C-alpha cells in the first residue's frame, strides 16, 4: 500500500544541515558540495526506507534494475538541490545558471498583476521558480507547506532568511483558514505554489497512472484551484549538474472549471493530466525525484 508522506517521521540531522549552511555561506558552494557526501553517506546507511524508495523509483524511471551508484547519485542530487535552496532562499541564486523555458504566459500574468496558482512538485527544485519573476521586487511567491513535518529543515532556512516563514502558508491549519489565506494572496496578485505530488494522511486522493503503475495523487490542489478560479501553471526546476538548472513553466489552464455535479471527476482528470506531465519530466531528469517514501500502491 502507498504511504502518506506526513505519516513518516522527519529523518534529518539538524547539525549537519547547519554545518552545510555555514560552509556554503563562508566557504562557498564548491566546498559545501564536498561536505554533501557526508550527508549522502548518512542517508545511505541510516535511512533504509529511503534507499528502498529510491530503488523502487529508479527501477521504474530507468526501466532497469538500479545499481548502488544510481541510488548514491539520486541521493547526492537531492543533497545538491537542498544546498542550492540555501542560495535561492537568500536571493543569491546568481551563483546558479537557471535557463527558463516557456515562461511567456507566466510573465504576462505577472505584468497584469494577476495572481496565479503554480503546481510544483518534489521533482527538482521548487525554489527555482523564483527565477520566473525575473528578479522583480513587485512579485511575491508563497508556498503551501506543512511546516511541522519539515521543522528541522525549515528552522535552518529561517535562520538563513528570517522572511522565509512569511512566504509559507501552513497547510496544517483548518481548510477554511487555508482557503481564505490563498484567496487573499491571489487578490493581491501573488503567486501560490502548491505541492501536487504528495498527499496528507486522510486526504482525498485518486489513483493516477504514473511511471507504469497506479499511485495516489491528492485531489485538494485541483479542488482548491477550481474553487478560486485562478490561472494554473505547472513548474519544474530540473537540476542538470554543476550549477545548471532548467526551469520549465507550462500553462495548465486560465481557470479550472469544476461544476458542482462534475467536481470530483473533473478534479481526477486534472490530477491525471498533471501526473502525465510529471512523469514526462521525470523521464528526462531521472535523478531529480525526491519523494523518499513508499509512493506506489
pLDDT digits (tens, 9 = 90+) for 138-187: 577 888 877 666 667 767 676 766 677 677 887 777 778 888 999 999 99
Q: How confident is the model at residue 7 (pLDDT cuts 50, 70, 90)?
A: very low
pTM of structure = 0.88
Cα–Cα distances in angstroms (integers) from residue 61 to residues 85, 193, 245, 263, 285, in the given order:
25, 25, 20, 32, 9
Closest of 257, 284, 280 to residue 209, by C-alpha: 280
CB 266 within 8 A of CB 34: no
The widest CA-to-CA distance across the chain, in whole angstroms, is 58
pLDDT at residue 258 is higher than 70: yes
Residues 72-122 have pLDDT tens digits of 999 999 999 988 988 887 765 567 899 999 888 888 887 888 899 999 999
List the domain boundaries for the chain: 11-288
pLDDT for residue 38: 84
pLDDT for residue 214: 96
User: Rounded to whole angstroms, how far apart are CA atoms 82 and 223?
Assistant: 30
- Reading the block at residue 95, the C-alpha cell is 551563483
pLDDT at residue 52 is higher than 90: yes
Q: What is the dihedral of CA 149, 151, 153, 154, to 10 degrees?
A: 110
- Reading the block at residue 250, the C-alpha cell is 507550462
Amino acid at each position: 500500500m502507498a504511504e502518506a508522506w506526513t505519516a513518516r517521521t522527519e529523518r534529518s540531522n539538524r547539525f549537519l544541515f547547519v554545518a552545510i549552511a555555514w560552509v556554503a555561506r563562508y566557504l562557498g558552494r564548491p566546498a559545501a558540495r564536498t561536505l554533501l557526501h557526508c550527508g549522502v553517506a548518512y542517508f545511505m546507511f541510516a535511512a533504509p526506507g529511503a534507499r528502498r524508495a529510491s530503488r523502487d523509483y529508479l527501477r521504474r524511471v530507468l526501466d532497469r534494475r538500479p545499481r548502488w551508484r544510481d541510488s548514491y547519485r539520486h541521493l547526492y542530487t537531492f543533497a545538491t538541490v537542498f544546498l542550492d535552496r540555501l542560495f535561492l532562499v537568500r536571493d543569491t541564486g546568481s551563483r546558479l545558471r537557471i535557463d527558463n523555458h516557456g515562461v511567456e504566459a507566466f510573465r504576462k500574468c505577472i505584468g497584469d498583476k494577476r495572481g496565479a496558482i503554480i503546481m510544483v512538485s518534489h521533482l527538482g527544485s521548487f525554489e527555482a521558480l523564483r527565477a520566473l519573476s525575473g528578479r522583480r521586487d513587485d512579485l511575491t511567491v508563497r508556498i503551501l507547506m506543512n511546516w511541522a513535518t519539515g521543522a528541522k529543515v525549515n528552522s535552518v532556512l529561517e535562520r538563513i532568511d528570517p522572511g522565509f516563514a512569511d512566504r509559507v502558508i501552513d497547510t496544517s491549519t483548518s481548510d477554511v483558514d487555508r482557503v481564505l489565506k490563498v484567496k487573499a494572496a491571489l487578490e493581491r496578485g501573488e503567486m501560490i505554489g502548491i505541492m501536487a505530488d504528495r498527499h496528507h494522511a486522510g486526504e482525498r486522493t485518486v489513483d493516477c497512472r504514473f511511471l507504469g503503475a497506479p499511485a495516489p495523487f491528492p485531489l485538494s490542489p485541483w479542488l482548491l484551484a477550481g474553487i478560486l478560479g485562478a490561472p494554473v501553471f505547472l513548474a519544474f526546476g530540473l537540476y542538470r549538474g554543476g550549477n545548471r538548472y532548467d526551469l520549465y513553466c507550462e500553462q495548465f489552464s486560465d481557470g479550472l472549471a469544476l461544476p458542482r455535479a462534475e467536481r470530483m471527476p473533473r478534479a481526477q482528470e486534472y490530477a491525471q493530466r498533471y501526473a502525465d506531465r510529471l512523469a514526462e519530466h521525470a523521464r528526462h531528469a531521472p535523478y531529480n525525484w525526491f519523494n523518499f517514501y513508499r509512493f506506489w500502491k
